[in-house]
Every structure is written in C-alpha cells, then in structure tokens.
Structure 1
Amino acid sequence: MENNYWLTAPEEFKTLFGLVEKYSPSGSEADAVFWLVARMAALGFTKSYVDGGGNAIGVMGDGPRQLVLLGHIDTVPGEIPFSVENNILYGRGSVDAKAPLSCFVDSVAQLGSIPGWQIVVIACVDEECDGMGARFVLPNFSPELVIVGEPSRWDRIALGYKGCAWSSIQISSDVTHGASEEATACEIASEIWGKIRLWCKEYNQSRPKIFDQIMFSLTNWYSGKDGFSQWARLVVSARIPPGFMPEDFYAVLESIAPDAIISHSAFPTPAYRGEKNSPLVRAFLPAIRANGGQPAFVYKTGTADLNLVAPAWNCPGLAYGPGDSTLDHTPNEHLYLPEFIKAKEILIDVLRRLTK
C-alpha cells in the first residue's frame, strides 16, 4: 500500500522515498516511471518524458556535449513494506537500484543546467530481466561518458561486471525397462552436469581472482516420459569473465554434450571491464577523498546495464551508487540514509569536475 510518505519527507529524501514507495517489479514499472517523470519536471529538468521503450528520461541543459547517468527503475519481485527506522530505509529497491537512481536525479537537479552540456538521466525498465530498456536507448544517445547506477557503497566505484549467458540442454531417448543397464535420460543429464562442473573447475584452477573465473549454475531441471520416450532438460547459466564470450560458453556445452539438443538465451551479454585511467575515475577518486573516503575499485560477479551501454556508446563507463549490494534481492533490503546523502555530495562533486 502506498502512503505517500515522500510528501512529508525532508527534501533530500523526497525522490528516494517516492520511488521506493512505488513497487515496480520488472514488467510493472509504469506507475513509477510516470511518477519519476513528473518529479523530474518539478525539480526543474529542461525536459522529462517517457520514451518508446517505457523508460523515464530526464534532460538537464541543451549543450552539445552529452553525459548520461543511467539507472534502472525496475526491481526483482517481492514487495517489502516501506518503513524508516533509525535512519534506515526499508523497501524493495531501496538498494537495487532506486537509491542510485534517486542519487542521480537529485544531484543533477541540484547542479542545474551547465553551459555547453546536456546531462541525461535515464531510468531503464527491465534491467532485472533482458535489459530491454537499456537496449532501447542505445541508438538514441551519444554520450562522451556514462555512469550507471548500481549500489557499490558511497566510497567505491565498480569498474567491471561479469557477462552472462543461459542455455538449455535436452536429452531424449527411448523408454527402457527399469531392470535395463542402459542409462536413463536423467542419468545422462546428471553425467553431463558433472562434466560441466569438472570443466569449470579445471578452467578456474589457474585463475585465482573470482572476477576472472567462470561461474556455472544449474538453475532448473525438468524431466518426463510417455509410453515411448523419456527426456531430461537442464537449464544452465554462466557468469563469464572478460575475454570469454557467450559463444565460447556455447562451444563448451556442445563439446560436452554433442548428442543433446542445446538452445541458447536470446540476450547473452559479454563481460565488461573499464579502464582505471579514464576521466570518470580521475573525477571520482578526488571527489571521494574530498568527502572523507578512501576510494576503492570493485569488480562485480553480476551483470549490469553497464555491460551493454558502455561498449555500444564506445565511451568510458563505470557504476556508482549508495547501498550495500549484498542486500540486493534480499527480504531485508535496506539503505542507511546518511550514506545516500554522502553519495549525492560525491556525485555532485564528480559532475562539477567532469563538466568544468
């Protein structure tokens, strides 16, 4: 239930509270999108609108140079009652990723229009699924720099995210008698999964850093039979490191299970690793230090819209935002509010450095 706590909230939390109050799992983002468009208009953005992909867009300024702050407005399912206790905000999306998105909106609003620049805030839909919101905006903007809104804590910047790919592996055979020594479809599928795990272990053995390793996961198993045939289907996902493409993942599966029917996900995503020596990093490091932090780089085992947009726009990119990412998708998702304020101070500092 929405109680419009944001209306009576302190000004520095109105955007954050309003967004978190709007429960918006993937596929049901429209209410939150329209609310945010109205909020950006009220905050003085040059223009704000809903694009053809259902994303909320806010533009500040009309200069020839473009900087994009791209967050996502959808969340995973599982509504968490909105509450604030002892400077802690509870609610679905309070960390992933409405805190970073609100940080973007408020920081740009506070800075206002900067001569020569156009700063664009994008609140993408469908990030938690196939990234259709981010895919829609790719041809519509040409930024020099992109900052993606993901929780990394106020004093850290995320330079890399693993890629991802999914496949299903189906084994079919004739039904055999229970006393037969011939392997069942389920037994063959189990053997294939064991070979995949062994291959993964051998690949990772010489790669001590988790970011450089492949992480396989058996996400679903289906099986069945009729009077004549039996079948088993494995759904396998992989988190893949830089240098290991989705096509390489597919090739591994096909070599392990040459007789299986293998189908692949529609939207595989390669890994992304950003440069440490970029204008973005050179702005964030002193900004974090100036606000009392010791900056650090992080490389995430998940996948984000950063993987899509930075390569497509061929520009420097990184992810930043308040919040503890270990709370992503959890029943106890919550945000320490002073961290949100600190992150806004840092982002405002960063934007000033980048646009001076």
Structure 2
Amino acid sequence: MTPISPEERQRVRDLLEVLTRTKSVSGSEDEIASFLENVLEDFGYSVKREKNNVLVNPNKNLIVTAHMDTVPIKREFSLDAAYAYGTGSCDDKASITAILEALREIEELNFGIALFYDEEENGTGSMEYAHRYRPKMAVVMEPTSLNVASTHYGSLEVIVRARGISAHGAHPEKGINAIEECIKFYYHVKSIPGIMSSMQMIRGGSDELVIPERCEGRIEVLFPPEIKSRDVIGAIVRGISHTISIEIKDSYDGTYSRRVDRLLEKALMSIGLIPKRAVMKSWTDALNLAKVGCDVVVWGPGELYRCHTEKERVSIDEIVIAKRALVALNKIVREEEC
C-alpha cells in the first residue's frame, strides 16, 4: 500500500474534528445534516435532503451509508499523534469523514451516498430510505477495524416486567422479590442455546427495607442468521412465569452478504490490503436495508467495543485507508456495471 502522506492525515484530522465537535445526539441532527448538505453541494454534488437524511444518487444499485447521530456525549473531542477520541469520533463520524474525503477525490460517482439520522435510537432514517428506494446493495459503514463483516447477527429487545409481593425486608419469605424474578428470567434467556444476551437496564426496589414488588429490565438478544427471531421468541416465551410479563421490541433476522462483500474485498485488495472477515453482532442500519431485500455488508474504521463509552477512539490512518478503499470501490462498481 502507498504510504500515507502527512497531508492526507491532516485533512482527515481537520474534517473529523469539525464533524465530531458538531453535536448530533439522536433527535438533534439538524445542524450536522445542514453542514453535510452544504459540504456535498460545495463538492458539486446534487443533494437530496429528506427530513435529516442527506442523500446523493439515492437510486443507484449500490449505496454507501453511514449515520450522523451519536449517543449522549461521554467524552469531548481530542487528538494525539495516532488517534482521535470522543463520542462520535468513531461511531460514526470517522466513516462520514472517509466518505467525504473520497468524494473530494472522485470525479464521477458510480454509487449512491446515504447519511442517515436516528440510527442510535429507532433507525428511522434507514427505515424511511429503505422503503422509499429499495436499494439492491449497500456498504453500511460502522466500526469493524476495516474487517469485512459479511455476517450480520439478528437481534431483538425484551422489555421484562416483574410483579412480586412486598414484605418487610426482614421477612423475605413472606414476599416475592420482583428484582430476583427479573434476574431469574434473564438467566432463562441467557441459557437459550446459540444466542448471546445482555441485561442492559434494570430498575426496581428502594431504600425502604422492603422486598420490592415491581421491577423492570431491558435485555438485548443477538443471534446468528441461521437462528430465526421467531424461534428465539418462542424459546423466550416458554420461560415466562406468572410473575413476569414481557414486550418484544425491534425483532430482526440476521443476514449474510451475497455479492457486495466481494466487491468491497476487491477494492481492499486493489489498494494493497488483505481482506479479513468479521461478524457484526450489533444492530445497525444494515438490518433495515436487509428487510427490503438489500444485499448488505458492514465495514468501517474503528473498534466497536470502545464505542458508546468514554474510551471511544479511532485511528486516523484507518480513516485514510477507508477513504482510499471507497475511491477504489467506485472504480470497481463502474467496471462491473453494478
């Protein structure tokens, strides 16, 4: 691979800083959507603004996507010689930086661009785009350390509510502890073969020395594409006791890439990288696109496990490499008449 020049690094650092310092917590994307719209128009592209989705060539067979919103701020932006830090720096403004820097170099764009709003909360932007345009293929940019995530897990959320019987804290045998009932239910979910689960919120009890009669929790459940959401739901329901009620939210089956992953791998090889495969286990906009039959792959700079925390960071060099790969992908799309 051609060495990265100081000028390439500096352009990425400067743009990423502007994007990350532009706050865009889910539900507050107006400012960054306007900024992105203006930048793309300055590059000479015809831009469509649909609510806060910012689109270029939205009817193309292959689109490259990223999302502009972030979780609430855990850490402000900062830089050192190798990394950028701060909420949104990696998830997902590093990907937007790579897209914009690629578009700065591309003379004739052969794929579409979709920059979505509301990925972190409800996925509204990608849902609206998917149903309106029904793309055939998509590279969904999310942190994968530049590995090609051609397998995407399915997911669902379980809201669990437990109703117990209160009693004085000195006599737990006279009551039913709602917190313990929630925990028992969680371990039932966790025991289902082939899935991953995590209790991400639990709320109940007080400081009053009382056995709690109410508790509520939220469980995220992830599973490979060969396991279907309906079967996971069936297994979950079989563990419900008389103290438990549940609500299933955001149920999605997983998916495998069909062709788009190979196009991306070809682009990576053309710039001197050996592609590595990965699995995307988090919900992403790719699942909304896959629901309308889109062939999706997830790929981008950064380490997902650090995101949504004060440890979020991204390698400046990975962003440059991602930019180069997108420029190469544009040529491959033309050559293969995608």
- Do 1:214 and 1:240's aligned partners in 2 also have CA atoms closer than 8 Å? yes
- Name the SS of the counterpart of 1:140 in structure 2: helix
The alignment of Structure 1 onto Structure 2 pairs a total of residues equal to 324
> How many Å apart are 1:79 and its aligned residue?
4.8
Range with greater deviation from structure 2 (75-84 or 318-327):
75-84
Deviations 1:302-356 (A, max 9, x none): 11111111231x1311011112223212213222212211111112112211222
Partner of 2:138 in structure 1?
146
Quote the offset at 1:293 in angstroms. 2.1
SS of structure 2 residue aligned to 1:39: helix
- CA distance 1:280–1:166, shift in 2 (3 Å): closer
- The corresponding residue for 1:56 is 54
Structure 1 residues 176 and 76 mapped into 2: Cα distance closer, same or farther (>3 Å)?
A: closer
Equivalences for 1:93-242 in 2 at 5 Å?
93-114=88-109, 117=110, 119-154=111-146, 156-173=147-164, 175-176=166-167, 182=173, 184-186=175-177, 189-191=179-181, 193-194=183-184, 196-198=186-188, 200-201=190-191, 203-204=192-193, 212-217=194-199, 219-223=201-205, 231-241=213-223, 242=225
User: Closer, same or farther in 2 for the Cα pair 1:126/1:331, shift >3 Å?
Assistant: same
- Out of 222, 241, 254, the position equivalent to 1:272 is 254
Q: Matched residues in 2 for 1:113 and 1:80: separation?
A: 38
Structure 2 letter corresponding to 1:28: S
Q: CA deviation at 1:181?
A: 7.1
Would the alpha carbon gap of residues 109 and 66 (structure 1) be closer, same or farther in structure 2, given more than 3 Å must change? farther
Within 5 A, what are the aligned runs for 1:226-305?
231-241=213-223, 242-260=225-243, 262-265=245-248, 267-275=249-257, 278-305=258-285
Amino acid at match of 1:48: V
User: Are the structure 2 counterparts of residues 102 and 140 from structure 1 closer, same or farther at C-alpha, using a change threshold of 3 Å?
Assistant: farther
Q: What is the CA–CA distance in structure 1 between the aligned matches of 2:56 and 2:106, rounded to whole Å?
A: 14
Distance verdict in 2 for CA 1:157–1:355, change over 3 Å: same
> What secondary structure is seen at the aligned counterpart in 1 of 2:260?
helix
Structure 1: give runs of 5+ residues left out of the alignment.
1-8, 205-211
Identical-residue share of aligned pairs (%): 19
Whether the aligned pair in 1 keeps the contact of 2:205 and 2:215 (CA below 8 Å) is: yes
* 124-133 or 230-239: bigger deviation: 230-239
Post-superposition Cα deviations, 1:212-235, rounded to whole Å, max 9, x if no partner, equal 533242521324799xx9622231
Q: RMSD in angstroms over aligned alpha carbons?
A: 2.9
Match of 1:220, as an amino acid?
I
Displacement after TM superposition at 1:179 (Å):
7.0
1:86 aligns with 2:81: yes
- In structure 2, the partner of 1:316 is 295
Give the Cα–Cα distance (whole angstroms) in 2 for the partners of residues 286 and 144 of structure 1.
18
1:39 maps to 2:39: yes
Specify whether residues 79 and 31 from structure 1 end up closer, same or farther in structure 2 by C-alpha distance, changes over 3 A only.
farther
CA distance in 2, matches of 1:72, 1:104: 11
Could you tell me how far apart the structure 1 residues matched to 2:165 and 2:37 are? 58
Find the aligned partners of 2:228 and 2:44 in 1 and give their Cα distance.
43
Q: 2 CA distance for matches of 1:143 and 1:163?
A: 20
- Quote the Cα distance in structure 1 between the aligned partners of 2:152 and 2:80: 33
- Which one-letter code corresponds to 1:103 in the other structure? A
CA distance in 1, matches of 2:259, 2:154: 24
CA distance in 1, matches of 2:200, 2:304: 23
Amino acid at match of 2:183: W
